[in-house]
Amino acid sequence: MKAGLVDYGGGNLRSVANALHALGVEPQIVSGPEGLKGVTHLILPGQGEFGDVMAQLEKRKLVNPLKKWIEDRKPYFGICVGFQILFDGSDEAPDVAGLGVIKGRCVRFKEAEGKKIPQMGWNGTVPQNTDSDFWKGLGAEPYFYFVHSYFPIPEDASWHVSETNYAGENFAASVEKGKVLACQFHPEKSQDAGLGLMANFLGLEWAVS
């Protein structure tokens, strides 16, 4: 197993790398197509605006290689904006196309009295696919750390989702199909549950500390 960590000039690369180090994994930094050589598992950490992330991936000539990676059914883990870019687009950057791997679009939380946007903090997440190896050992409703104003609405029922409720609004906190896992929350900031999810994605043995 060789984990590749996509560097598009933004995102919390160091936090994800530190989480991988805690699992005993030294990631290979992928800042262009050539960086994919030898990689078996690809992680795209996300932080920032949808349009900016897509522009940076285009600049580094990574858009088509990312699409092909997923089309070839290779392990991909998208975090936050790395989750959102899998979809057709986002209301955050209406004129920018996403990777289009999953049919659907990212929308902003609905305004409501007493509701703070962005959502910042811990929240429970209920996986739909309880037999998934990704969720092994995490319990029925693990808690993860969220920081976001937008979230995707998957339109393809072949993708299993996990669901979270924020201030009365349900949304897809993650999607999975085959070897692809992507989540709106930040596993690298989610202590044992986050490390467990990352370990499961990488096929590593782990135990709650």
Report the pLDDT value the prediction gives residue 12, as an integer from 0 to 100.
Answer: 79
CATH fold group of domain 3-202: Rossmann fold (3.40.50)
Report the pLDDT value the prediction gives residue 50, as an integer from 0 to 100.
Answer: 97
Report the pLDDT value the prediction gives residue 209, as an integer from 0 to 100.
Answer: 55
Report the pLDDT value the prediction gives residue 9, as an integer from 0 to 100.
Answer: 87
Question: 3-class SS at 95?
Answer: coil
Sign of CA dihedral 195, 201, 205, 208: positive
Catalytic center residues: 80, 186, 188
Report the pLDDT value the prediction gives residue 10, as an integer from 0 to 100.
Answer: 77
From first to last of the 209 residues of the chain, give the pLDDT tens digit: 999 999 998 767 999 999 999 999 999 999 999 999 999 999 999 888 999 999 999 999 999 999 999 999 999 999 999 999 999 999 999 999 999 999 999 999 999 999 999 999 999 999 999 899 999 999 999 999 999 999 999 999 999 999 999 999 999 999 999 999 999 999 999 999 999 999 999 999 886 55
β-pairing, 41-44 vs 87-90, is unpaired
